[in-house]
Amino acid sequence: MRRFAGSLHTIRLQLSNSDDCARLPSLANFCLLPNVTGEIKHVKITSAIKTKADAGTLRQVVAQQIRKYAPPSETTTAESACWNCTRNGRKNHLICTSCGYLQDVNEEVNYFELFNLPSSFSLEQQELTRRFRQLQTLVHPDKFSNKTTREQKNSADWSALINKAYKTLSAPIERGQYILKLQGQQMPQDNSALDKAFLMDMMERNEQVEEANTSKDLELLNDAVVQELNASTIELNKKFELKALEEAKNVLVKMKYLLSVQKSIKSKLQTLMGG
Footprint of Zn ion on this chain (CB under 5 A)? Answer: 82, 84-85, 96, 98-99
Q: In terms of CB distance, is 76 or 191 closer to Zn ion? A: 76
3-state secondary structure of 102: strand
- Least Å distance, CB 90 to Zn ion, is 9
Q: In terms of CB distance, is 20 or 151 closer to Zn ion? A: 151
Asked if residues 45 and 58 have their Cβ atoms less than 8 Å apart, the reply is yes
Neighbours of 129 (CB within 10 A): 13
Q: In terms of CB distance, is 62 or 95 closer to Zn ion? A: 95
Q: In terms of CB distance, is 99 or 199 closer to Zn ion? A: 99
3-state secondary structure of 135: helix
- Least Å distance, CB 101 to Zn ion, is 5
- Residues whose CB falls within 8 Å of the CB of residue 13, separated by 6 or more in sequence, listed in order: 1, 4, 24, 42, 43, 45, 62, 66
Q: In terms of CB distance, is 101 or 132 closer to Zn ion? A: 101
- Least Å distance, CB 83 to Zn ion, is 8
- Least Å distance, CB 88 to Zn ion, is 9
Supply the angle between the helices 245-274 and 215-241 in degrees, to the nearest 10. 160
- Least Å distance, CB 70 to Zn ion, is 21
